[in-house]
Structure 1
Amino acid sequence: MRAGVTFILGGARSGKSAFAEQMVLASGLKPVYLATGQAWDGEMENRISLHRARRGPSWKTVEAPLQLSQAIDAEATGGNAILVDCLTLWITNLMMAEADIAGEVEALARMLATVKDPVVVVSNETGL
């Protein structure tokens, strides 16, 4: 897997996270999971637990519910393959925090344009 961004788009619970995890593992680089989800309720808490169990201990997990571009910058040090899961939840978190969504998206786009490690980004398809 070369440096740059791979975008995985799919329906809710369609297997896109597991697919993205396999891509990252196949790279042979150190896997880093940037988690944007927050356990707002029991269902989300269960989903987070299932994802953690599936990944196992070989993954470094970084919680990044709001500061996504900063988390990518901190982890893209060379030799890592980074999985961002997912953009949909990140945008939701920004909305809930009444953050500057346009500014955060611009910062993310700038970061992804210059990142030296491969980054796999997962997002939900919400109505094609």
Structure 2
Amino acid sequence: MSTFSIFLALIVVVAFLLVVVVMVQNPKGGGLSSSFGGGGTQQLGGVKKTTDFLDKSTWALATLLLVLILLSNVAINTGDGTVDSKALDPNATTTQPLPSTTPLPTTTNEAATTTSDSLQ
């Protein structure tokens, strides 16, 4: 298992936890929960410090997610050093084919000229 795969798995787990923490939070302005009968007066679990914990955990998970994404960019496997495109390879030398110096054979189309003369 590569380092990038490990970072990818951690990013998915942290993103899922971040979504869960954000969904559990009680909106400050009432939000949609107050319009559906929530009232916004109940504290989650009856503890006043729960909102502080959820707020801090949201910031911590968001920061962790950003750091993991930046570190995973460093861990991306770039392969064995070969470049697929010669435009991106600074050491590649490309040669353009030279134009042909031999004249093209000319063909006379006598049948076309005779038919056009006979139509007149």
TM-score bracket for this pair, using the shorter chain length: under 0.3
Greater helix proportion: 2
TM-score, normalised to structure 2, is 0.22
- Larger relative contact order, structure 1 or 2 (CA cutoff 8 Å, min sep 6): 1
Under a length normalisation based on structure 1, what TM-score does the superposition of the two structures give? 0.21
